[in-house]
């Protein structure tokens, strides 16, 4: 009815809608806080010092944004937290400002590295973005505490051991906020194409999207090996000022997991 009143034909209306959508939405890039270790499974034969790469990027598209010096960066092992913020040095990742760190595990077990960035102002979405980002590293064959929970404002608690996974394995985690599961949370999933973006038949293929169930549990099975990021997004119950105006804050619970290729 409205189209008729405006004198539009159906094709014209459709074209108008498509143009409008393109202007408003733009490319389907997913923002991801990124925390990538040089090795998620350190063995005694390996270089025992882990290099860590902290960035804020579009991982599938292999484009970086600028990550300000993180607000917090640390590691949890055997219930003990270690502040690593002072170990960071400036770096470049995907042509964006980033941070580099290193850490040498001295005992077996799971090391949970985590980063809290400063709020990132995203003008195109009119929102601040804060991605609480973490990754799990196993040292010397010991996988104790692989499901450790950090108690972050929001985080993904793994239900599948987050290292030593084959490509194609199902991965499950619980999305939590304030320590409680988030029912039906939306989780964006992207592969880190560090060697450059790959061609896709549709922008819809860049970011995979799944929803958690009523208990906050989500499931995904990456089709290819590599680093895959899981970002559960919620809106904070507070706002932050931008040029004198209060703006919403997108909170991300981001987890990076590497899936290994099946040996041929």
Give contact residues for other proteins (rule: CB under 8 A): 44-49, 86-87, 102-104, 106-108, 140-144
Nearer to other proteins, 90 or 106 (CB): 106
Q: How far is the CB of 44 from other proteins (least distance, A)?
A: 6
Q: How far is the CB of 126 from other proteins (least distance, A)?
A: 40
Please write down the HEC assignment for all residues of the chain: CHHHHCCCCHHHHHHHHHHHHHHHHCCCCCCEEEEEECCCEECCCCCCCEEEEEEEEECCCCEEECCCCCCEEEEEECCEEEECHHHCEEEEECCEEEEEEEECCCCCEEEEEEEECCCEEECCCCEEEEEEEEEEEEECCECCCCCCCCCCCEEEEECCCCCCEECCCCEEEEEEECCEECCCCEEEEEECCCCCCCCCCCHHHCCEEEECCCCCEEEECCCCCEEEEEEEEEEEEEEEEECCEEEEEEEEEEEEEEEECCCC
Q: How far is the CB of 115 from other proteins (least distance, A)?
A: 17
Nearer to other proteins, 89 or 124 (CB): 89
Q: How far is the CB of 142 from other proteins (least distance, A)?
A: 5
Nearer to other proteins, 141 or 261 (CB): 141
Nearer to other proteins, 9 or 82 (CB): 82
Q: How far is the CB of 87 from other proteins (least distance, A)?
A: 6
Nearer to other proteins, 6 or 47 (CB): 47
């Amino acid at each position: 009815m409205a189209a008729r009143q405006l004198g539009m034909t159906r094709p014209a209306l459709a074209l108008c809608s498509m143009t409008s959508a393109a202007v408003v939405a733009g490319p389907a890039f997913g923002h991801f806080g990124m925390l990538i270790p040089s090795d998620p499974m350190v063995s005694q034969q390996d270089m025992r010092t882990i290099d860590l790469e902290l960035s804020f990027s579009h991982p599938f598209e292999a484009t970086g944004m600028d990550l300000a010096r993180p607000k917090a960066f640390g590691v949890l092992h055997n219930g003990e937290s270690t502040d690593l913020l002072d170990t960071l040095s400036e770096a470049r990742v995907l042509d964006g400002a980033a941070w580099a760190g290193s850490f040498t595990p001295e005992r077996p077990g799971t090391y949970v590295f985590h980063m809290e960035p400063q709020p990132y102002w995203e003008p195109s979405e009119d929102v601040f973005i804060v991605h609480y980002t973490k990754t799990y590293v196993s040292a010397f064959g010991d996988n104790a505490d692989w499901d450790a929970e950090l108690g972050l404002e929001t985080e993904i608690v793994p239900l599948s051991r987050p290292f030593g996974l084959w490509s194609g394995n199902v991965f499950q985690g619980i999305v939590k906020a304030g320590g409680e599961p988030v029912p039906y949370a939306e989780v964006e999933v992207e592969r880190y194409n560090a060697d450059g973006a790959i061609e896709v038949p549709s922008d819809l293929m860049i970011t995979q999207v799944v929803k958690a169930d009523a208990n906050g549990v989500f499931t995904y099975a990456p089709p290819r090996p590599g680093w895959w990021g899981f970002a559960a997004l919620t809106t904070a119950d507070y706002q932050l000022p931008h040029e004198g105006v209060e703006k919403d804050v997108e909170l991300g619970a981001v987890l990076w997991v590497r899936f290994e290729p099946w040996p041929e």
